Amino acid sequence: MRCASILSLSVLSVAPVGFSYAAELPEFVEISGGTFLMGEDRIYQEETKIHQVTVSSFAISRTEVTNAQFRKFVEETGYVTSVEKPLDPADYPGVPKDLLQPGSMVFAQPAGAVDMGDVRNWWRYIAGANWQHPTGPESSIDGLDDHPVTQVSIEDARAYAKWAGGRLPTEAEWEFAARGGLSRKAYVWGDTYDPAQGWKANSWQGQFPGEDLADDGYHGTAPVGQFTANGYGLYDMAGNVWEHVSDWWVPGHPDKAQTDPSGPPMKLAARFASSATGPMTVVKGGSWLCAPNFCLRYRPAARQPAEGHIGSNHIGFRIVRDME
């Protein structure tokens, strides 16, 4: 649902000359390496402590990978995504059969107030949900070529990145790029967020999860590049969809991750894994489902875990390339 409010229309950014959000391949922005203060210790417990990290120069896609770009990859390679394949019961003992068939997680907005301690009140496993049908088999991405691809696992994101001549960013690279040259700021644009000065990200307005006012112009994903770019010219580093990065998930990053920009090793992440999911990886940037009353995570330091073989309709990715 698109809301045509004067306020939301007034903050739409202007695309760089010659840049197409629905191009078949991503456009890259070169980022000079450097040392920065990564993390945040004032908001959520799972975020890293503030620590100094140095990253080398790299190039990162200006926007999240779009449906059109992912379709090009699938058409050329015949790739089948994780959620389009049934799960092996041997790998998921005790999981009901209906959860082993091809499908994925879909946000299901409740009609009213619910127990906020149980995410099952707004998430459903929907058979037939995949990148072409992000909210279930009856849905479609027709007309959404310039929206970020969703319902992709980290395995799918890695496969696309390799095909496109790149890789997934590390968490440190992603956060360095998201900050856009700003140091110790809460958001990618600065320290405060006053919607009266214009919407800066696709997020949730209203009382999550039952009411989304869509005052920013969107309920669900927005076309990439609809909000002002950060200091490096990168779009949607806050909100729209969470983005896969290469790091294994460890809550709060232990000491090793504070000095190693490549993040913690898998064997350490395995300590925090459940038997059903195995080691998880990190997603960054928040999504259209982030609301101040529940998930204030459209910030560069914010982070959450993602399961390895499943997707959702609020997780996507962007890619990087090494610079010689």
For residues 311 and 151, the answer to whether their CB atoms sit within 8 Å is yes
State the Cα–Cα distance between residues 28 and 62, nearest whole angstrom: 6
User: In a structure prediction context, what are the per-residue pLDDT tens digits for the chain, which is 324 residues long?
Assistant: 223 222 222 233 345 545 566 578 999 999 999 999 999 988 888 898 899 999 999 999 999 999 999 999 999 999 999 999 987 888 777 777 877 889 999 999 998 889 998 999 999 999 999 999 999 999 999 999 999 999 999 999 999 999 999 999 999 999 999 999 999 999 999 999 988 889 999 999 999 999 999 999 999 999 999 999 999 999 999 999 999 999 999 887 544 444 567 777 777 777 677 656 678 999 999 999 999 888 999 999 999 999 888 899 999 999 999 997
Residue keyed to tokens 């928040």: 286
CATH code of 1-324, in short, is 3.90.1580.10
Q: In what order do the strands lie in the sheet with 315-316?
A: 303-306, 281-284, 242-248, 315-316
Residue keyed to tokens 């890293």: 48
How many Cα atoms are found within 13 Å in the side-chain-facing hemisphere of 157?
Answer: 33
Instruction: Round the average pLDDT of the chain to a whole number and report it.
Output: 88
In DSSP terms, 160 is beta-bridged to none
State the Cα–Cα distance between residues 268 and 289, nearest whole angstrom: 29
The pair of three-digit structure tokens given for residue 238, joined into one six-digit string: 């806050």
For residues 300 and 178, the answer to whether their CB atoms sit within 8 Å is yes
All structural domains of the chain with their residue ranges: 1-324
In DSSP terms, 66 is beta-bridged to 148
